[in-house]
């Protein structure tokens, strides 16, 4: 419990920047507590992904709603008591200069939620694997009889849990670097950085800036709390001696003194004094070595949060992954189709490719995030028999890879799926692993994944 759970905002004006899922959840919370909410977005109401009828209805009972859509007015940014921003809104937005000059606090949605939540928080960040680890950790907690909830960037805004939260709740929160940029008091009793590879280089000046945003997850921790870190990633392993909390490591390559590791086909946990055998690696149903890392991290998190070791295996056996993360969609004429729309950067696509021995028809492309597509060359040459490029980055990807793999282009994702089906033979894999953001052609990576699956199902229907 963080001391502000019953606080109201009557008489205060709060600017909520961003009118997608997180912004609407923040506005709803603030309206219910009596605030005058000014909701701003560059999109007009007709272009917003979600309707505003619920907010209007709520404002008739409590608070006041002002819609400031179709652009950001500077006066809104300097005429409020504080600002709440959504994850996709960059703090470098010029309008925030007005806010800073006026000395007005700028809070992220997770910061607002932290100040009102009862219960404990686990924070999970990293370049890849966040969603799978978050979902699995929450499942492991529930399987152990604890009140575990997955929240944050996984699709459930943390602020939506605040009103009904209890001291027994454990919130496993997926956190992007964007969300961590705008925390102040927020601190998880368990924080995890799964890995660090270049991502969002279109938003950060350099890799150090991106990594620095991720490291903020630990900035308010104390020695009695925990930092879960990947021993196999040199960048995260180096943090073990730098964090203010107690480091707990995970590794699929070596044994660690405190944390989870693989030994002789078994997953083992050491608390620094004694070891506990947890389960055999054959119980894990997720494909790819990167998913072993996710299981190691999630198991460490669950144990630190109070789960009994004996209860983990049943959940591990049943867990088949989450949507849009190496999701098997169908087999059509002997060809398997996999949806990894969440592979939005180069490293994620590398891990996706490594999950298969070869015979891959890869669909890649979208909005470039400043990635180095030449880093894919070795794996593409070894495992991919044909590459189909789509979206804004199609030309850049073709330039980087067409000399190591046969390459073609498609005008749409549906066309790419159809083209792949015609080129594939029984035993092949058609894999959507874009290495790019989705916003050039789709609302988000989930939308992209759904379109891919619809196209595959049309093939299966035929």
User: pLDDT at position 70, please?
Assistant: 93
User: pLDDT at position 90, please?
Assistant: 84
What pLDDT, in 10s, does the model give residues 317-335? 999 888 898 899 999 999 9
What pLDDT, in 10s, does the model give residues 277-303? 999 999 998 888 889 999 999 999 999
Q: In this structure, how many other beta carbons lie within 10 angstroms of the beta carbon of residue 327?
A: 19
User: pLDDT at position 3, please?
Assistant: 52
Which stretches of the chain score pLDDT less than 70? 1-6, 198-204, 462
Q: How far is Cα 227 from Cα 237, in angstroms, rounded to an integer?
A: 11
User: pLDDT at position 187, please?
Assistant: 92
Residue intervals in the chain for CATH 3.40.1190.10: 111-318
Residue intervals in the chain for CATH 3.40.50.720: 13-104
Question: pTM for the whole thing?
Answer: 0.81
Residue intervals in the chain for CATH 3.90.190.20: 327-461
User: pLDDT at position 6, please?
Assistant: 65
User: pLDDT at position 462, please?
Assistant: 61
Q: How far is Cα 96 from Cα 86, in angstroms, rounded to an integer?
A: 13
Kindly report the backbone phi and psi dihedral angles of residue 313, in degrees, each rounded to the nearest multiple of 5, phi listed first: -60, -35
Q: Which residues of 238-269 are buried (b: 16+ CB within 10 A; e: fewer)?
A: ebbeebebbbbbbbbeeebebbbbbeeeebbb
Q: In this structure, how many other beta carbons lie within 10 angstroms of the beta carbon of residue 103?
A: 7
From 3.40.50.300, 3.30.465.10, 3.40.50.620, 3.40.1190.10, which CATH number describes the 111-318 domain?
3.40.1190.10
Please state which CATH class domain 327-461 belongs to.
Answer: alpha beta
- Supply the CATH classification number for the domain 13-104: 3.40.50.720
Closest CA to 414 of 437, 402, 401, 430: 430
């Amino acid at each position: 419990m963080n001391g502000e759970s019953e606080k109201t905002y009557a008489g205060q004006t709060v600017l909520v920047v961003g009118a997608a899922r997180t912004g609407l959840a923040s506005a709803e919370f603030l309206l219910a507590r009596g605030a005058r909410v000014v909701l701003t977005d560059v999109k007009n109401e007709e272009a917003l992904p979600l309707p505003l009828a619920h907010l209007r209805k709520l404002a008739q009972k409590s608070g006041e709603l002002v819609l400031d859509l179709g652009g950001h007015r500077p006066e809104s940014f300097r005429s409020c008591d504080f600002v709440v921003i959504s994850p996709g809104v960059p703090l470098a937005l010029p309008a925030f200069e007005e806010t800073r000059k006026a000395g007005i606090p700028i809070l992220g949605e997770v910061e607002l939620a932290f100040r009102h939540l009862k219960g404990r928080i686990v924070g999970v960040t990293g370049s890849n694997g966040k969603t799978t680890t978050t979902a699995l950790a929450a499942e492991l907690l529930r399987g152990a009889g604890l009140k575990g909830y997955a929240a944050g960037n996984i699709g459930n805004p943390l602020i939506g849990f605040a009103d009904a939260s209890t001291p027994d709740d454990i919130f496993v929160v997926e956190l992007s670097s964007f969300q961590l940029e705008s925390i102040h008091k927020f601190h998880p009793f368990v924080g995890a950085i799964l890995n660090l590879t270049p991502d969002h280089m279109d938003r950060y000046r350099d890799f150090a800036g991106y990594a620095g945003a991720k490291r903020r997850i630990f900035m308010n921790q104390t020695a009695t709390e925990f930092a879960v870190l990947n021993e196999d990633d040199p960048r995260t392993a180096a943090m073990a001696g730098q964090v203010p909390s107690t480091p707990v490591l995970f590794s699929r390559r070596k044994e660690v003194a405190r944390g989870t590791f693989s030994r002789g086909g078994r997953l083992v946990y050491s608390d620094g004094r004694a070891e506990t055998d947890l389960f055999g690696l054959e119980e894990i149903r997720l494909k790819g070595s990167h998913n072993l890392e996710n299981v190691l991290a999630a198991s460490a998190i669950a144990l630190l949060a109070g789960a009994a070791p004996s209860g983990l295996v049943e959940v591990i056996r049943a867990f088949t992954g989450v949507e849009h993360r190496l999701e098997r969609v169908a087999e059509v004429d002997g060809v398997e189709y996999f949806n990894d729309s969440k592979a939005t950067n180069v490293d994620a696509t590398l891990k996706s490719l490594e999950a298969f021995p070869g015979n891959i028809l890869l669909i890649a492309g979208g909005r470039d995030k400043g990635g180095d597509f030449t880093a894919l060359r070795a794996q593409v040459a070894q495992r991919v028999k044909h590459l189909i490029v789509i979206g804004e980055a199609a030309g850049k990807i073709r330039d980087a890879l067409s000399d190591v793999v046969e390459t073609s282009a498609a005008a749409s994702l549906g066309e790419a799926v159809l083209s792949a089906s015609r080129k594939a033979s029984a035993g092949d894999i058609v894999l959507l692993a874009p290495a790019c953001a989705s916003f050039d052609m789709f609302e988000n990576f989930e939308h992209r994944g759904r379109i891919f699956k619809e196209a595959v199902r049309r093939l299966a229907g035929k």
